[in-house]
Chains A and B, each alone.
Chain A
């Protein structure tokens, strides 16, 4: 059976196509603004091309992510929580929990042994937009996102910026720049504050979680952020290859009927 999953995130659209439980095609592209519907089609087309199949061969498509209702080609929609948990179990059958950190949202879902979600938390507004914030700060500091992600850990005795929310963080960051801090120092402090915000979500669950915790979503690719998050949370994450495709993968898995 061939199924497809589309993850329409705030910054990127990801598509995964599965055949009999194996990934045969993937696609990724910018979400865009008003042209989101056509962007979805375009990313889907590239995934189909990689899978070397026609759209008609896909038996069921499920969309997830913030823009899931914009994917007209999807037959059903599921929330990120469900798809992230589904993907985590597929990628790592022993996973105890999954953290999905993306442009807009950070969530954590802990799971029972049978894969059901035991407890979940999605960020409140003060921890929203961390991924987008880092991208914007990279632009402002005239760095690429890759350069930002390659930075070393912040000096504990160095400058800090507010960890109240991304707006407070940005205000402090600009203040530091005006007072002579280097873009690198500011970037390190910004990453630290973003990690503290994300950490507030990760620390929220009440019930104990095991130590096999997957980190997925776009921010899993940002090494500096991951290092800061691990340090703050005291967690060593399992980061799967192509972590940013986890939502789409989960959606494609959800499209497979339960036997």
Chain B
């Protein structure tokens, strides 16, 4: 038994099936004929796959993959942006990716796939709001803007109406216009199938998130990040993906019932908020040397529970996915995707995420001892209210550590040595030492 081991642990059985699904998906996109565009695919369901030959590349994963795979090339990319006027405070996802456009070639030397259209989705954060601009300023291409609507405070039915209409109009126009410009038929039947699959998967995902509240945590955040892209596999075979998620959910539940831990030495639980530094996930393992497990964040886990006015925590409902609502026309699909809350999925301005106490509820629900937050020099959305939320956490006795970096997809400003030093200080300050010592 490993030193300090407190719980039984074992690998997930679902891994093999997950890898198989992932490989099938990878093969399917490689063979697809493409009109490559810029945009946001995770608009509840991945609408792009309903076009026979359109591929949307998202800036976030593309940019962070470059930074993770090839630091010198990522720096070269960012420099290419900087000499064209971008500041170092621009979100690394975009800086790195659009720098590659300016260079004209990708990390492996192949030509940069020029975008043939752009669908800007504003508002997640300022850099994201502007992200549809770079490929269009580079050369004239069609664009269809969408809009994220937002307000803060309590749900307000009156305000919702016009906002939802605005969003529905923008989305519907986008799909109709894309059909016309690229002479491609949008497969509405597939879209409906995907929406139905997504509504089931959403429930399974929520269950998995809820199981993470138990001690010991059945998984670690590393597992969650490995799986959280899987919901998007509906694009290949919705039914198979639903089955997979059921299997995964059942396995995690079994682990909870039998106290099988993601980390066998779990003796300290900590949380995050928003994305990790994708190029430096090592810190999760570093913390595990102290028996400290990261149980996730609102970003990775969502908010499976909500606080009712009487103070009770109950499972959150997804009103937009009610099975009773008609789902027949394209407009129905769009309305489904938009949902019934004009503020969703506006994570960085949603009241749910912005309330000073928002993280306290998460911390209590997930039984954490502490929280670690990135302060991102180029991630204005990622930093929103974080310092204030940290104060609220401290007031309920949770220890909070801040570390600095450029942005989750950019390694420029993350001083790895200093970061690990800070982790040591944080753990030692709470009386913990590395288990190997």
Contact = CB atoms under 8 A, between A and B. Distances in A.
Chain A: interface size category: 10 to 19
Given A76-B437, A117-B430, A124-B402, A82 B394 contact: no
Contacts of B58: none
Nearest to B417: A66
A205 B402 CA distance: 12
Nearest to B394: A206
B375 A82 contact: no
A120 B394 contact: no
A157 interface: no
Nearest to A85: B429
A78 interface: yes
A119 B424 CA distance: 15
Most chain A CB neighbours (cut-off 10 Å) among B413, B415, B421, B425? B425
Contacts of B424: 79
Contact of B422 (A109, A119, A122, A205): A122
Contacts of A125: 404, 413, 415
A207 interface: yes
Contacts of B422: 122
B430 A207 contact: no
A117 B437 contact: no
Given A116-B431, A124-B402, A207 B425 contact: no
A76 B433 CA distance: 11
Nearest to A78: B428
Nearest to A66: B421
A96 interface: no
A80 interface: yes
A124 B375 contact: yes
Contacts of B395: 206-207
Contacts of A85: 429
B394 A79 contact: no
State the majority secondary structure of interface residues on A. Answer: mixed
Given A206-B390, A207-B394, A120 B425 contact: yes
B425 A122 contact: yes
A171 B165 CA distance: 52
Given A124-B402, A207-B395, A81 B428 contact: yes
Contacts of B305: none
B265 interface: no
Interface string B375-410: 100000000000000110011000100101000000
Given A122-B422, A124-B402, A206-B395, A109 B375 contact: no
Nearest to B403: A124
Nearest to B427: A79
Interface string A88-114: 000000000000000000000100000
A82 B404 contact: no
A82 B390 contact: no
Interface of B: 375, 390-391, 394-395, 399, 402, 404, 413, 415, 421-422, 424-426, 428-431, 437
Given A79-B425, A81-B425, A125-B413, 19 more contacts: A76-B437, A78-B428, A79-B424, A80-B425, A81-B428, A82-B425, A82-B428, A116-B431, A117-B429, A117-B430, A119-B394, A119-B399, A120-B426, A122-B422, A122-B425, A124-B402, A206-B391, A207-B394, A207-B395
12 contacts: A66-B421, A79-B428, A109-B429, A117-B429, A117-B430, A119-B394, A120-B425, A122-B422, A124-B375, A124-B402, A205-B394, A206-B390
